[in-house]
Amino acid sequence: MAKITYREAVRAGLREALQNNPRVFLMGEDVGKYGGTYACSKGLLDEFGPERIRDTPLSESTFVGAGIGAALGGMRPIVEVMTVNFSLLALDQIVNNAATIRHMSGGQFSIPLIVRMATGAGRQVAAQHSHSLEGWYAHIPGITVLAPATVTDARGMLLAALQEPDPVFIFEHAYLYPLEGELDESGLPVDLTLAAIRRAGTDISLITFGGSLWKALEAADQLAHEGISAEVVDLRILRPLDISTVLTSVRKTHRAVVIDEGWRTGSFAAEVSAQIMEGAFYDLDGPVGRVCSVEVPIPYPKHLEDAALPQPEKILQAVHSLMGR
């Protein structure tokens, strides 16, 4: 298996999409001449030209709306929003148009749109560029919400999303872009209905997604040294949520901790916790634990940013608490 970075996997997926379908085009802030804020589209303007790699003004509502219109017109737009915080400027287009037109047209129209955006903290870019709001989007019927955490998923989920007839939103944790990993070609394209077991275990289930996956795996390594076998579940698809895989894991381990970089109140972790309580209450040996971000705007100073986020040490504390250690 080839070893590449997460950003290279995204770029490879974009290139393959553009090569395979002349209706695919990429648009967003700085995706052309600059090569993308996170270098995911570097070189694509030279290869495919300005008709298919389109720089846009700093107006998220406008260019997300243009993507919706292009999709209605038969194109396969991939829209890049620089960061999840800025996507809030396009919520009217997303909630009132992209997510509803199939329903409101009685199924006559579909919107084969992909919207990609960076999410998450850990890079010292302060509160307006660092929040994790993908749980908000998972609340909206009519769209698919993806959170790839591996290089295989970064490429494979994009390719799979191009087969979907309805809007797909892909949240790429910005801290992962330089992450290196092995690209598993046999896992492409990715099944957009299933969560993934990243590490098997028997004593407790660590359930997470996106940038927190690697923290959960690090915590699982440390727990193994203590004689605790932790199973790590990567949700990777937040809507539709594969709760069946989660419940199967919890019924085996009888304990669960959900790790979510969103704020604790109203978090996606709360939704997962509630569904575990509804579907596996009598299999649990204790309450479901949650490790989330501290409820403050993400700080700029590194020591404060680190303190605000889920960390392996906090996951260990939650596991020890549940297991009476």
Per-residue pLDDT reduced to its tens digit, 283-312: 999 999 999 999 999 999 999 999 999 999
For the beta sheet containing 237-239, the strands, ordered from the edge strand earlier in sequence to the opposite edge, are 53-55, 24-28, 76-81, 114-119, 168-173, 144-146, 237-239
DSSP line for 185-213: GGG-SPPTT--EEEE--SSEEEEE-TTHH
Q: What is the pLDDT of residue 187?
A: 78
Determine the residue type at 38. Answer: Y
Q: Which of 4, 7, 192, 6 is nearest to 114 (CA)?
A: 192
Q: What is the pLDDT of residue 172?
A: 98
For CATH 3.40.50.920, the residue range(s) in the chain are 196-322
Q: What is the pLDDT of residue 325?
A: 72
Active site residues: 60, 129
Task: Write down the architecture of domain 196-322 according to CATH.
Answer: 3-Layer(aba) Sandwich (3.40)
Between the CA atoms of 271, 272, 278 and 283, what dihedral angle is there, to the nearest 10 degrees?
Answer: -160
Q: Residue 143: count other Cβ atoms within 10 Å of its Cβ.
A: 22
Count of all residues that appear for the chain in the document:
325
pLDDT in tens, 212-242: 999 999 999 999 999 999 999 999 999 999 9
For CATH 3.40.50.970, the residue range(s) in the chain are 2-187
Q: What is the pLDDT of residue 185?
A: 86
Residues of the chain with pLDDT below 70 are 1
Phi–psi pair at 197, nearest 5 degrees: -85, 110
Correct CATH for 2-187 of 3.30.360.10, 3.30.2350.10, 3.30.1370.10, 3.40.50.970: 3.40.50.970
Q: What is the pLDDT of residue 221?
A: 98
**In Å, how far from its chain's centre is CA 240?**
13
Q: What is the pLDDT of residue 242?
A: 98
